[in-house]
Structure formats: C-alpha cells, structure tokens
A = this chain, B = another copy of it.
C-alpha cells in the first residue's frame, strides 16, 4: 500500500522503520478495534516497539483478555493436550455450544 511495493522484511534504516512502525501500529490498533465492534469479539493487542515502548488495545480490559487466554489454554490442555484445537469455554454456560473442529 503506498507509492511502491515493499517486501516484508526488517527495515534496516532506523528512521523509516520508526515511521513505518508509527503508521502501521496505528492501523493495526484501528483494525483491532473495528473487529471487536463489528464482530462482537473480545480483542487484546500488545505491541512493543524495537525501543521497548508498549502500545496496547483492548475493547474490554487487558486483564480480562489475559485471564480468558489462560483459561482457554488451560481448557485446551485438559481437552486435547496434543492437538492444535483452540477452543475456549463459551462465556459461562452453554457448554453444549462448544465447537470442536
């Protein structure tokens, strides 16, 4: 997107890497927000720049997302420790609606 096509590979020039980071971080956070709203999803995004600065987005709270992530992972372990299946508990109740692929 933009005047020229680019290859997805680390940008060597520190200045343009910083500029690109700023633009794309903004775009990513916007997309995350849109996804959360449009699709009624819970979304958490954490980004550390190469200089160590943190940027984040969460439509609920990052704590909530992280807790839910751990629960989902835990459930994954209990359910199928070997497979790649990624399933969380439905938002309290509705156990019958779990989708196993």
Cβ contacts under 8 Å, A40 to chain B = 10-11, 17, 50
Complex: A70 Cα to B63 Cα, angstroms: 10
Complex-state Cα separation, A11 to B70, whole angstroms: 28
Give the contact-size bracket for chain A: 35 or more
Number of copies of this protein chain within its complex: 2
Residues of chain B within 8 A of A55, CB atoms compared: 86
Contacts of A34 in B (CB 8 A): 8, 24
Q: Assess whether A86 is in contact with B53, with CB atoms less than 8 Å apart.
A: yes
9 smallest A-B Cβ distances: which pairs?
A21-B39, A42-B48, A52-B90, A54-B72, A40-B50, A44-B46, A52-B88, A24-B35, A54-B88
